[in-house]
Amino acid sequence: MRRLVTPADFDRVHDIYMDAHVVRYLGFDPMPREAFARVFDPLFDSGCFYVYEVDTRVQGFYQVQRHRGRAAHVAYLGTFAVAPDVQGQGVARAMMTDALARLRQAGIRRVELLVEADNPRAIAFYEGFGFSHEGTQRAAYKRASEPGYIDELMYGLLIEQP
């Protein structure tokens, strides 16, 4: 079940986000709980960061932001992750299926996202939903703990409206 994040989710979101298998592919380098407010607070304030519960436990999250004006039919999907201990069990599939159904319902015609070029699991996941590689942002991503710069792949999905 999807719901908007609340301040009470801070610790659980931190623990999923900062797991070594997850943080490698999100937007910030590892940081302790005491510093995580600088990540969590903007997500909370955005009003469009959702957690996904399975049996009342938060097991995943994502942010989905609708653009404005002439791009109001477009939504950007980001900070998409599933708790490491339940990965590979279909949680991400359920979370994305639900998200896309809601976006279609809201009149969204196009969904876009960025994925790191060295994240084959997520690339396979997005392509499985029909997202297409539309372009590459070269050297757009840098992990403090690794020497190289990573390309960000731009993916998009067109949603058929009824």
Ligand X SMILES: CC(C)(COP(=O)(O)OP(=O)(O)OC[C@H]1O[C@@H](n2cnc3c(N)ncnc32)[C@H](O)[C@@H]1OP(=O)(O)O)[C@@H](O)C(=O)NCCC(=O)NCCS
The residues that touch ligand X, with contacts defined as CB under 6 A, are: 21-22, 25, 80-82, 87-93, 115, 119, 121-122, 124-125, 128
Residue 103 · residue 75 · CB < 8 Å: yes
* CA dist., res. 128 & res. 58, Å (int): 24
Which of 70, 74, 142, 144 lies closest to 103, judged by CA?
A: 74
What is the phi-psi region of residue 88: left when phi exceeds 0, alpha when psi lies from -120 to 50, beta otherwise? left
Please say which residue, 93 or 142, places its beta carbon nearer to ligand X.
93
Please say which residue, 61 or 69, places its beta carbon nearer to ligand X.
61
- As measured in angstroms, the least distance from the Cβ of 85 to ligand X is 10
- As measured in angstroms, the least distance from the Cβ of 38 to ligand X is 19
Please say which residue, 93 or 133, places its beta carbon nearer to ligand X.
93
Please say which residue, 108 or 153, places its beta carbon nearer to ligand X.
153
- As measured in angstroms, the least distance from the Cβ of 24 to ligand X is 7
The residue with its CB nearest to ligand X is 92
Residues in contact with 16: Cβ distance below 8 Å, sequence separation at least 6, in sequence order? 22, 58, 59, 60, 61, 81, 82, 83, 84
Please say which residue, 81 or 150, places its beta carbon nearer to ligand X.
81
- As measured in angstroms, the least distance from the Cβ of 100 to ligand X is 13
Query: How distant, in Å, are the alpha carbons of 18, 87, 89, 91, 109 from that of 84?
Result: 10, 5, 10, 11, 31
- As measured in angstroms, the least distance from the Cβ of 98 to ligand X is 12
